Amino acid sequence: MRCEIIAVGTELLMGQTTNTNARDIARELSSLGVGVYYQAVVGDNEERLADVFRQALSRADLIILTGGLGPTEDDITRETVARVLELPLEKNKAWEEKLEKFFARFKRPMVAMNLRQTMVPQGGRLFHNDRGTAPGIYLEREGKLIILLPGPPREMLPMFKEQVIPLLREKLRDQGNLGVLQSKVLRVFGLGESAMAEMIQPLLENQDNPTLAPLAKGAEVHLRITAHSSTPEEAEELIERKAEEVRAILGDYIYGEDEEDLEYAVAKLLWEKGKTLALAESCSGGLLSHRLTNIPDSSKYFLAGLVTYSNEAKINILGVNPELIASLGAVSNEVAREMASGVRRVCHADIGLGITGIAGPGGETPGKPVGLTYIALESDRFQFSNRYEFWGDRQDVKQRATQTALNLLRLYLLGKLKAK
Amino acid sequence: MRCEIIAVGTELLMGQTTNTNARDIARELSSLGVGVYYQAVVGDNEERLADVFRQALSRADLIILTGGLGPTEDDITRETVARVLELPLEKNKAWEEKLEKFFARFKRPMVAMNLRQTMVPQGGRLFHNDRGTAPGIYLEREGKLIILLPGPPREMLPMFKEQVIPLLREKLRDQGNLGVLQSKVLRVFGLGESAMAEMIQPLLENQDNPTLAPLAKGAEVHLRITAHSSTPEEAEELIERKAEEVRAILGDYIYGEDEEDLEYAVAKLLWEKGKTLALAESCSGGLLSHRLTNIPDSSKYFLAGLVTYSNEAKINILGVNPELIASLGAVSNEVAREMASGVRRVCHADIGLGITGIAGPGGETPGKPVGLTYIALESDRFQFSNRYEFWGDRQDVKQRATQTALNLLRLYLLGKLKAK
């Protein structure tokens, strides 16, 4: 199956938005064994879109268009595709009702313009969209598959993964073309990309099927294992055998797989061990609380996250000794320890964690550079604290501080963190 | 001048790399007044690249190719362009000497393969590359400009800005076409895309120069105003005049421009008015603190953000009345008000804000659906609270709750929020 991806939008053409949709779709398709032969970007211009779409029809079996399904006049994908295929647009009653309910529920006016989003080229099936008002549209025409998806990535990508991929999988199976290309990602924290590559060098050198691909991702490294086979079971087995070899070398540097991020790993351990957690954040500004509360049901173990930004808040709410702040500064090992211990006491939590540092760009003092951060963890008869220097801008420092704190929590819950 | 950008590379086509080059080039060109009409991505395949390049030659005046200039066999851009233009490849002596020096300096062997990078289609001029081994190449052919640039963004982008842009500027001046394309984004919150479009319908209908383009972005809407002119000053004036017409209609729905997000708007107002802020978050889980502390120097007005997730934390830390929680539930207007007032008192802040709700997917009870959220704001002799229903998944609810809270803060600081 030969695929072509067309992204529609003047904001893409002018470089105001990055075309992450084409990248994400291509990545997903490659795991199905579908080859993308061309990608194109066109603006909100009917003639040019029609030309590009006609050309794609002439050479591809699967054409995926993203964007241009909004309610306004410059959203032209639906109309242009219908015109090129010589199909009339018909109102989809079910989607109209859905939109009416949606607008009523959120007390927003439904204007005439929104009705454009209920129009579907004749014979089109819908992909449901519960994150926006535009449905996706699926058409078949002379053996070619045509798929229209909304432009916003947070609507497009879940729709693609949850509805388009299963449909394509079915089509490929019907055509007898469903080879299996499967992959698993091992997520690594605490090693740089080259350090990790050096450790698994023998495996990287002799790869064939499965293949191994390391990829630096922000503060962590992902190792993708990809196997090709005729059945999912066989591919799975090939991957699992290779993953075992990797695990034997990297051990606890691997914290999770695929979509499991570090907050998920910590949440799972807290849940399994029946421990409660309270945080005292300063430089990380609430990001650690935010990340942990992104996990559903986090209220089961997450009691509170107190972002005590000012010194007064540290003193009044956490009971940090003001003399310590005066003599050593708020960014110090001792204050981090008092924050961890204070928040644990105030919230009656099993585990207390404190973070204090300098996120920058201002705030540097002699001996205390931007990025300097202390993290402390306290539980019953256990204390740990350490000094870190994180690099990058304000958001990088926040991200790396929380990543490190999450990894400390993980190691503690695994019984692998030494008191300090 | 009509431009077309062609990015060459199988890694782009498969989604392993994001095509930031096309975005960055398009952005730079638009400030020169050069319109990009199409972007394309092709893999390392001679036939398909030749087809795409031929098509671009047939419809564009300026064709920019990125990637495929490396030393290995799969780098085919140089050869393919030469073949389509029927130009022989000639060795460039100066570049050969440069490469020899380069390899000697870094004590790396110069292999035969590297000589491919010294080959240039007849008549081609070079763009110097001091960050890599491939030069950029410039060709003119029947009035069309053809530019080949290396793929790695850290080589491509400086070369483009420092060498290609001045050259294009010169060409445009020679043609008397040196125009300016400038744009400004007005950021709108509190209106859906279609509701906003209806309000400014007369402006959308009669647009020419500047043009207006609405775009939904998460919980907000962006309206891009783009003007074409011969001088930056004139473009700026055209934009400003149009922006005034839009402002006259949308008023306070517009909260910022270009890169200024809602947290920035609130931070600026807090700073200007000299007010301090303390937050009590529940369902938003620290996201509001995180967003506000992303702004440098937020410690000047942001005192604390207490993520009181458990009922005990709400009672013990904020002083919320436990009987209220027992009778009305933690997700209630009254508890939101006590959170706002409690955090204000505990932190001695000018403004206290409380958020309590159900982020989902669990936690729904009769009459209290997922997404239900109460937000309260208290200051000296001022109280506001309101009920909201946000839609989407857990992260959407958190995002929309914080977006709404930021907008309430903004309106309050502007003196536009009515007590309630």
Mutant choice from A131, A165, A270, A290 vs B, greatest count of B C-beta within 10 A? A290
The three-state (H, E, C) secondary structure of chain A, written as one string: CEEEEEEECHHHHCCCCCCHHHHHHHHHHHCCCCEEEEEEEECCCHHHHHHHHHHHHHHCCEEEEECCCCCCCCCCHHHHHHHHCCCCEEECHHHHHHHHHHHHHCCCCCCHHHHHHHEEECCCEEECCCCCCCCEEEEEECCEEEEEECCCHHHHHHHHHHHHHHHHHHHHHHCCCCCEEEEEEEEECCCCHHHHHHHCHHHHHCCCCCEEEEEEECCEEEEEEEEEECCHHHHHHHHHHHHHHHHHHHHHHEEEECCCCHHHHHHHHHHHHCCCEEEEECCCCCHHHHHHHCCCCHHHCEEEEEEECCHHHHHHHHCCCHHHHHHHCCCCHHHHHHHHHHHHHHHCCCEEEEEEECCCCCCCECCECCCEEEEEEEECCEEEEEEEECCCCHHHHHHHHHHHHHHHHHHHHCCCCCCC
pLDDT of residue A127: 97
- Chain B's closest residue to A297, CA to CA, is B362
Binned at pLDDT 50, 70 and 90, residue B110 comes out as: confident
Query: What pLDDT is stored for residue B217 in this prediction?
Result: 81
* A2 in contact with B, Cβ within 8 Å: no
According to DSSP, the residues that pair with B184 across neighbouring strands are B225
Chain B residues inside the 8 Å CB shell of A398: 290, 293-294
pLDDT for B204 beyond 80: yes
Q: How far is CA B13 from CA A5, A61, A179, B131, B147, in A?
A: 10, 16, 20, 25, 21
B183, B276, B310, B317, best to mutate vs chain A, most A CBs in 10 Å: B310
pLDDT exceeds cutoff 70 at A153: yes
Question: Which of B28, B65, B61, B20 shows the shortest CA–CA distance to B180?
Answer: B28
Q: Are B316 and B294 in contact (CB under 8 A)?
A: no
Q: Is the pLDDT of residue A226 over 90?
A: no
Q: Given an 8 Å threshold on Cβ–Cβ distance, is B194 in contact with A111?
A: yes
Pairing of strands A136-141, A125-127: antiparallel
What SS3 state is found at B406? helix
Tell me how many residue pairs between chain A and chain B have CB atoms under 8 A apart: 265
> Residue A29, Cα to own-chain centre: how many angstroms?
18
Give residue limits of the domains in chain A.
2-174, 180-257, 262-413
Q: Do the Cβ atoms of A271 and A278 come closer than 8 Å? A: no
Has residue A315 got a pLDDT over 80? yes
Paired residues of A383 in beta bridges: A378
Query: Does residue A210 have a cis bond before it (omega within 30 degrees)?
Result: yes
Mean pLDDT of chain B: 92
Highest mean pLDDT among A210-214, A311-315, B97-101, B224-228 belongs to A311-315
Q: B354, exposed or middle or buried, with CB in 10 Å at 0-12, 13-18, 19+?
A: buried
Q: How confident is the model at residue A30 (pLDDT cuts 50, 70, 90)?
A: confident
Residue keyed to tokens 């010194």: A311
Pairwise CA distance, residues A346 & A317, whole Å: 8
CA triple A19-A23-A29, angle to 5 deg: 145
Residues A63-88 have a mean pLDDT of 95
Residue A254 tokens, joined: 């691997």
Distance CA B152, CA B68 (A): 10
**Chain B touched by A329 (CB under 8 Å):** no
Residue that is written with structure tokens 């400086």 in the block: B158
- What distance in Å separates the CA atoms of residue A146 and residue A60, rounded to the nearest whole number? 10
Average pLDDT over residues A263-267: 97
Given a cut of 70, whether residue B181 has pLDDT beyond it is yes
Burial of B355 (0-12, 13-18, 19+ CB in 10 A): buried
Name the superfamily (CATH) of residues A262-413: CinA-like (3.90.950.20)
Range in A8-12, A27-31, A271-275, B186-190 the model is least confident about:
A27-31
Q: Which of A6, A8, A16, A131 to mutate to test the interface with B (most CBs of B within 10 A)?
A: A16
B339, B356 Cβ separation under 8 angstroms: yes
Contacts of A278 in chain B (CB under 8 A): 313
pLDDT band at A197 (very low <50, low <70, confident <90, very high): confident
Q: What is the mean pLDDT of residues B201-218?
A: 86
- Among B127, B124, B43, smallest CA distance to B85 is for B124
DSSP-derived secondary structure letter, B164: I
Phi, psi of B124 (to 5 degrees): -75, 140
Q: What percent of chain A has a predicted confidence (pLDDT) above 70?
A: 99
One-letter identity of residue A146: I
The answer to whether the CB atoms of B293 and A312 lie below 8 A apart is no
Q: Which residues of B221-260 are buried (b: 16+ CB within 10 A; e: fewer)?
A: bbbbbbbbbeeeeebeebbeebbeebeeebeebbbbeeee
Distance from CA of A417 to the nearest CA of B (A): 26
Structure tokens at B154: 């850290």
The CATH T-level fold of domain B2-174 is Molybdenum Cofactor Biosythetic Enzyme; Chain A (3.40.980)
Q: What is this structure's pTM?
A: 0.77
Q: How crowded is residue A142: how many other Cβ atoms within 10 Å of its Cβ?
A: 6
Residue A348's pLDDT is what? 97
Give the three-state DSSP class for B377: strand
Classified by CATH at the fold level, domain A180-257 comes out as: Alpha-Beta Plaits (3.30.70)
Residue A191 burial (CB count, 10 A): 17
Question: What dihedral do alpha carbons A306, B301, B267, B237 form, nearest 10°?
Answer: -170
- C-alpha distances in Å from residue B28, one per residue of A167, B182, B259: 40, 11, 17
- Pairing, β A2-8 against β A62-66: parallel
- Among B36, B271, B290, which would you mutate to test the A interface (most chain A Cβ atoms within 10 Å of its Cβ)? B290
CA pair distance B92, B129, nearest whole angstrom: 14
Of A298, A288, A284, A217, the closest CA to residue A256 belongs to A217
Task: Assign A178 a pLDDT band (cuts: 50, 70, 90).
Answer: low
Would you say how long chain A is, in residues? 420
- A269, burial (CB in 10 Å: exposed 0-12, middle 13-18, buried 19+): middle
Task: Name the band, by pLDDT with cuts 50, 70 and 90, for residue B274.
Answer: very high
Say how far apart CA A63 and CA A42 lie, in whole Å. Answer: 14
Phi and psi torsions of B209, nearest 5° = -145, 110
**What pLDDT shows up at residue B112?**
75
Query: What is the mean predicted confidence (pLDDT) over A236-247?
Result: 96
C-alpha dist (Å) from residue B313 to A317, B191, B342: 11, 35, 12
Residue B216 contacts A, CB cutoff 8 Å: yes
What pLDDT is attached to residue A198? 82
How far CA A198 is from CA of A96, A185, B67, in Å, comes to 57, 18, 29
Closest CA to A404 of A375, A383, A379, A382: A375
The whole-angstrom separation of Cα A18 and Cα B23 is 6
pLDDT range class, residue B105, cuts 50, 70, 90:
confident
Distance from CA of A374 to the nearest CA of B (A): 18
Q: Are A40 and A3 in contact (CB under 8 A)?
A: no
pLDDT at B334: 97
Q: Is the pLDDT of residue A402 over 90?
A: yes
Residue A372's contacts (CB-CB under 8 Å, 6 or more residues apart) are A331, A357, A358, A387, A388, A389
* A161-175, A261-275, B277-291, B401-415: least confidently modelled range: A161-175
B293 bridge partner residues: none
Confidence of residue A183 (pLDDT cuts 50, 70, 90): confident
Across the interface, of A10, A48, A154, the residue whose CB is closest to B213 is: A10
Q: Does A315 touch chain B (CB under 8 A)?
A: no
Which pLDDT score, from 0 to 100, does residue A159 have?
97
**pLDDT the model gives residue A221:** 85
Position of tokens 């009656």? A348
Give the CB-side neighbour count of residue B219, counting CA atoms within 13 A. 20
Mean pLDDT, rounded, for A163-181: 84
Distance CA B319, CA B316 (A): 6
Strand order in the sheet with A144-149: A125-127, A136-141, A144-149, A62-66, A2-8, A35-42, B35-42, B2-8, B62-66, B144-149, B136-141, B125-127
CA atoms within 13 A on the CB side of B160: 25
Indicate the range of A166-175, A247-256, A334-343, A399-408 predicted with least confidence.
A166-175
Q: Does A357 touch chain B (CB under 8 A)?
A: no
Q: Is the pLDDT of residue A291 over 90?
A: yes
pLDDT digits (tens, 9 = 90+) for B113-137: 788 899 999 999 999 998 788 999 9
CA–CA separation, B168 vs B174, rounded Å? Answer: 10
Interface of A with B in 149-188 (CB under 8 A): 152, 154
User: Measured between alpha carbons, how far is A360 from A358 in angstroms, rounded to an integer?
Assistant: 6
